[in-house]
Structure 1
Amino acid sequence: MDCTSKRASRPCPCRSWGASSAKPGWSLRGLAGPPPSGAGTARAKWCRARGATEGGRPRRGCEGSKWFQSHHVRLTGATGGFLGKVLLEKLLRSCSKVNSVDVLVRQKAGQTPQERVEEDLSERIDDDLVNITPKLIGDRPNTYIYIKALAEYVAQQEGAKLNVEIVRPSIVGASWKESFRGWIDNFNGPSGLFIVAGRGILGTRCTSNNALADLVPVDVVVNTRPTAAWYSGVNRPRNIMVYNFTMGSTNPFHWGKVEYHVISTFKRNPLEQAFRPPNVNLMSNHLLYHYWIAVSHKAPAFLYDIYLRMTGRSLRMIKTIIHLHKAMVFLKYFTSNSWVWHTDSVNMLMYQLNPEDKKTFSIDVGQLHWAEYIENYCMGTKKYILNVEMSGLPAARKHLNKLRNIRYGFNIILEILIRCMFIARSTCGEHFPDENFKLKHYGPSWVNIASAGEDTSSTHFFITTVKTAWLDTKHMVFGKVLEGVGLVIYRLAWHNTNEGEGGPGSVLRWSSAHT
């Protein structure tokens, strides 16, 4: 508020802080009075608290951004006001070490505070932050891998004097033995893929059948942690031990086989509320993948959303398909490539354990039976993630049979439509408007047509040389030779024939004809 404004209905609070006697160059900090006189300790403390020198001028350099490290900032108008948005962005960018920024948000224009915050976070002012990501991660596929690399770098640089070991698992999946077979509690990694495959939501994936599916059970990875810590604590190795816990060189399996066992499991034990029968097509061709996503997924999802709109329900299927498609693109790097990691450290660790510890902290994955593990994994997603009990299995099987019948019926109708629209039919099929048997084989020079059989497109044309009444209801008469009939009949009737096949012995060709 301007201290001299006529709108002021009460004395400006600046006056109570001693603003009227403040010297030029001093900025108010919310405390009263000018600096203490002299050059004593009190004046020095006053200057440091206000970011000024004892000469009465503001400090230069980055003192402002450093000052915010020990202070909290509270903002209003940061979601609705133009100035507030820019101020918030400036604080986060230039004063990144600020202790905290508290933004007061209220309900406005029918939007809840949370909705206003989400809308503000989607503003284009944050585009420069998004553009930084490709420069930071470089050739790495995503930020998750980048952060893991940073963590290992910090451990190697700062943990030289510490007893540190690094355990690198590949794709962590459901438990193998402990504490329950197939236990899983999240949709991450292959868990979500198995569920959408079982429900028939996303049956096409951009994946190589022959790529290694480097899944490792979570309980075996957990057993590696205390075992590695025990070894480092007892032997105190000079260098940081790195344990690559993967399956590629020990017990390899491929994505094509994984999907086969997933579909087989969900066909025997279907999921409730399935969208289509379980089915997955793996393809490495990028163009074919996008084609089938559009035809086999987005189109049915769009039709289903139309049905939901007509029944007064919220639309969700097309959004789900788009979200899953983005997830498939994200995972393509890992499901289309194969890596073989050195597991010498893990093998060494396994041989260091005594027989009792090998049972308690089992890390031997060479004995894992993949078909059984994948089946337990799928049933674990059903039981522990979807919270579906086996008591509903009969209803799920009934629903799956219903979906199959709908699919078969749709395919039959589609085939009939294609036949009617695009496949030419023979004259022995349905009658064309100009097809009739009104004309008879009255005598020589009548022209008729006969097909090779029902539902065939192969036809033969005949010109009679005598009356052939027995063909009146078999061959369709459609014309008569009017000129040159003698020459035509003579050449046809008396031409030599091939006794073996019944056809003419040589080719007869007319150079011109008119109707």
Structure 2
Amino acid sequence: MPALDFTNETTMASLQPTLSPMSIPEFFHGKTVFITGGTGFMGKVLLEKLLRSCPGVAKIYLLIRPKKGQNAHERLSQLLCSPLFNTIREDQPFHLQKVLPIEGDITQPELAISINDRNMLVRNVNIVFHSAATVKFDEKLKLSVTINVLGTQRLVELCKKMANLEALIHVSTAYCNCNRDEVKEVVYSPPLGPNQVTSLVECLDEELVDTLTDKLIGDRPNTYTFTKALAESWLKDNKGDLPLVIVRPSIVLSTIDGPIKGWVDNWNGPTGIIAAAGKGVFRAMLCDPNKTADIVPVDIVINLMLAAAWRIGTTQNRELQIYHCSTGQQKPITWKNFIGLCFVYMRKYPISNVSWYPDGTVTSSRIFNICNQYLLHWAPAYIMDFVLHLTGAKPMMMKIQDKLSKAAVCLEYFTTNEWKFDDENVKNLNRVLCDSDRKEFNFDVAKIDWEDYIQFYVLGIRRFIFREDFDSIPQARRNIIRLYWTYRSLQILSVLVMWRFLTIRYGPLRQMWTKALHLLVHMARLLPFI
């Protein structure tokens, strides 16, 4: 094979990425966007980023279903009151008028969108972001299929009628192929086809589906990853000429950048466990501390989604493109380091009214974990509920521990395994961005400073989950110091009691105990002179 002539301009040009003369904000200028899942965690960050960094966007329609007595307009008003939108409300309040609700329901035929609204969307929409999904790992299969698979199919049916559609971004998950150790940026065909599963689920009653769930999902740990894989498989076979992109984030946590560092507004995934640990009510979990915790900030995922929409919208290539938004390859952090840093900052910025000093242990041994659960969770919860009962208060700690235990079990599969998510497509996409877009829509995970990120993550939990002001930290620190010394005193007392119990029966241990006491007394006397 002849060597490449790198002096040849044609050859050199062919080796360079094709750059679009249009920036991301320019691409979105004058465009109409339709978002499903806009009221969710990722949807809110997507909406805010569009309004703030793509100010030329014409309109943004959110699919919103009525809920808890609120109609779509009321839910949108409540959504826009979130602290996440403070910057826009203060600097560009008129941009909020671009956001309009579309009443509908992802679980219903034709998304339960009115004929007038459907016709309007078909005529006007240029870009669609589909992030609506049930993210509950233990969701019943029938509902999970209805939302994650049938909901996706119904949206695609609508998109195929949109004459001016330039980009369709489907949010999946990196773990939809968690039955593989190494995952490429391709769609893998599941053992059962999506049409087979949807037909089966639709014709059987829920109880029968529940009994078949374990057999149907096979080697996947839950219905969430299973149905996400089904949705991807269906999209690959039925996309037609749609400008479709699939973005697969790993474990999504709080924001890393503006407008608010550390913003988080839900208890999903590790956040609920970390929040409970900060309260002192969760102290043990099954986890391999040396495995990679493939966590990713939510705004990095959103930036990638916007860049992916720009990329497919400014090229003629209609081939399905998949992007893994993960950190394990470029900026890995172990569960040990992640949890350790969380505890460091939960003690530095403690939550008020904690039940006990924030501390804990993780182990990859199921036997040790069961022992820890009974010793550190169930026994204290039983004692506290007994005290509450005696004082006439309502016992609640056993119920809380039950919920936390179920949440921990859902995470065990992901904290005891690790995966290699190929992210070449993401790196290639980053290369073709202009400098201004690469800065404003940063999704380069290699630049993450984990210690700084986790510090703001913990502060975000404190501020947005527990709704505590920064001014309450000094008092909370004084309380945590008292709990620390109480905690250490009880640890020492427990060791002394255990040791004393052993020395009663065994003479040699009793002699060692006496010598140890003499040594401690001697060192205490010398301490003032050191």
The TM-score bracket by the shorter chain reads: 0.5 to 0.7
Give the structure 2 partner of residue 368 of structure 1. 448
Give, in angstroms, the shift of residue 273 of structure 1: 1.7
Question: Of 224, 228, 231, which residue of structure 2 is paired with 1:148?
Answer: 228
Matched, 1:381 2:467: no
Give the structure 2 partner of residue 290 of structure 1. 370
Structure 1 residues 408 and 239, CA, compared in 2 at 3 Å: closer, same or farther? same
Distance (Å, rounded) in 1 between the aligned partners of 2:512 and 2:434: 80
Structure 1 residues 350 and 318, CA, compared in 2 at 3 Å: closer, same or farther? same
Structure 1 residues 136 and 417, CA, compared in 2 at 3 Å: closer, same or farther? same
Distance (Å, rounded) in 2 between the aligned partners of 1:358 and 1:415: 56
Distance (Å, rounded) in 2 between the aligned partners of 1:256 and 1:309: 37
Give the structure 1 partner of residue 475 of structure 2. 395
Structure 1: unaligned runs, 5 residues or longer: 1-68, 70-91, 93-124, 428-450, 458-515
Give the structure 2 partner of residue 137 of structure 1. 217
Matched, 1:308 2:381: no
Give, in angstroms, the shift of residue 378 of structure 1: 0.7
Report if aligned partners of 1:426, 1:454 keep a CA contact under 8 Å in 2: no
Partner-residue secondary structure (3-state), 2:421: coil
Deviations 1:29-71 (A, max 9, x none): xxxxxxxxxxxxxxxxxxxxxxxxxxxxxxxxxxxxxxxx9xx
Structure 1 residues 452 and 330, CA, compared in 2 at 3 Å: closer, same or farther? closer
Give the structure 2 partner of residue 261 of structure 1. 341
Partner-residue secondary structure (3-state), 1:288: helix
Report if aligned partners of 2:242, 2:318 keep a CA contact under 8 Å in 1: no
Matching of residues 438-477 of structure 1 within 5 Å: 455=514
Report if aligned partners of 2:503, 2:513 keep a CA contact under 8 Å in 1: no
Report if aligned partners of 1:244, 1:341 keep a CA contact under 8 Å in 2: yes
Matched, 1:193 2:273: yes
Distance (Å, rounded) in 2 between the aligned partners of 1:285 and 1:270: 30
Report if aligned partners of 1:425, 1:455 keep a CA contact under 8 Å in 2: no
Matching of residues 497-508 of structure 1 within 5 Å: none
Give, in angstroms, the shift of residue 128 of structure 1: 2.6
Amino acid in structure 2 at the alignment position of 1:260? G
Structure 1 residues 240 and 456, CA, compared in 2 at 3 Å: closer, same or farther? closer
Structure 1 residues 354 and 292, CA, compared in 2 at 3 Å: closer, same or farther? same
Structure 1 residues 311 and 166, CA, compared in 2 at 3 Å: closer, same or farther? same
Give the structure 2 partner of residue 322 of structure 1. 402
Give the structure 2 partner of residue 277 of structure 1. 357
Deviations 1:275-310 (A, max 9, x none): 221112110001110011011211111101111111
Distance (Å, rounded) in 1 between the aligned partners of 2:506 and 2:292: 52
Distance (Å, rounded) in 1 between the aligned partners of 2:490 and 2:292: 36
Report if aligned partners of 1:426, 1:456 keep a CA contact under 8 Å in 2: no
Partner-residue secondary structure (3-state), 1:256: helix
Partner-residue secondary structure (3-state), 2:247: strand
Partner-residue secondary structure (3-state), 1:424: helix
Give the structure 2 partner of residue 171 of structure 1. 251
Report if aligned partners of 2:221, 2:413 keep a CA contact under 8 Å in 1: yes
Amino acid in structure 1 at the alignment position of 2:378? K
Partner-residue secondary structure (3-state), 2:226: helix
Amino acid in structure 2 at the alignment position of 1:376? F
Amino acid in structure 1 at the alignment position of 2:261? R
Report if aligned partners of 1:214, 1:247 keep a CA contact under 8 Å in 2: yes
Distance (Å, rounded) in 2 between the aligned partners of 1:294 and 1:253: 29
Structure 2: unaligned runs, 5 residues or longer: 1-108, 110-142, 144-204, 517-530
Partner-residue secondary structure (3-state), 1:208: coil
Give the structure 2 partner of residue 444 of structure 1. none
Give, in angstroms, the shift of residue 416 of structure 1: 4.6
Give the structure 2 partner of residue 161 of structure 1. 241
Identity %: 31
Matching of residues 311-350 of structure 1 within 5 Å: 311-350=391-430
Distance (Å, rounded) in 2 between the aligned partners of 1:353 and 1:452: 73
TM-score normalised to structure 2 length: 0.56
Structure 1 residues 312 and 239, CA, compared in 2 at 3 Å: closer, same or farther? same
Partner-residue secondary structure (3-state), 2:296: strand
Give the structure 1 partner of residue 292 of structure 2. 212
Distance (Å, rounded) in 2 between the aligned partners of 1:365 and 1:227: 15
Structure 1 residues 171 and 415, CA, compared in 2 at 3 Å: closer, same or farther? closer
Give, in angstroms, the shift of residue 161 of structure 1: 1.6
Give the structure 1 partner of residue 69 of structure 2. none
Partner-residue secondary structure (3-state), 1:423: helix
Amino acid in structure 1 at the alignment position of 2:484? R
Deviations 1:220-272 (A, max 9, x none): 11011121111112223242000111111111111000011001101111111
Partner-residue secondary structure (3-state), 1:162: coil
Amino acid in structure 2 at the alignment position of 1:254? T
Partner-residue secondary structure (3-state), 2:305: helix
Matched, 1:423 2:503: yes
Give, in angstroms, the shift of residue 391 of structure 1: 1.3
Amino acid in structure 2 at the alignment position of 1:360? E
Deviations 1:178-215 (A, max 9, x none): 22100111011121121112122111111011111111
Structure 1 residues 305 and 238, CA, compared in 2 at 3 Å: closer, same or farther? same
Amino acid in structure 2 at the alignment position of 1:233? G
RMSD: 2.5
Structure 1 residues 453 and 194, CA, compared in 2 at 3 Å: closer, same or farther? closer
Give, in angstroms, the shift of residue 319 of structure 1: 1.5
Report if aligned partners of 1:212, 1:254 keep a CA contact under 8 Å in 2: yes
Give, in angstroms, the shift of residue 356 of structure 1: 1.3
Give the structure 1 partner of residue 312 of structure 2. 232
Report if aligned partners of 2:312, 2:318 keep a CA contact under 8 Å in 1: no
Structure 1 residues 246 and 310, CA, compared in 2 at 3 Å: closer, same or farther? same
TM-score normalised to structure 1 length: 0.57
Report if aligned partners of 2:330, 2:446 keep a CA contact under 8 Å in 1: yes
Partner-residue secondary structure (3-state), 1:301: helix
Give, in angstroms, the shift of residue 420 of structure 1: 4.8
Moved more, 406-415 or 248-257: 406-415
Count matched residues.
312
Distance (Å, rounded) in 1 between the aligned partners of 2:348 and 2:207: 48
Give, in angstroms, the shift of residue 419 of structure 1: 4.9
Structure 1 residues 423 and 176, CA, compared in 2 at 3 Å: closer, same or farther? same
Q: Which has the higher contact order (CA 8 A, sep 6+)?
A: 2
Partner-residue secondary structure (3-state), 1:320: helix
Distance (Å, rounded) in 2 between the aligned partners of 1:377 and 1:181: 8
Partner-residue secondary structure (3-state), 2:504: coil
Report if aligned partners of 1:259, 1:280 keep a CA contact under 8 Å in 2: no
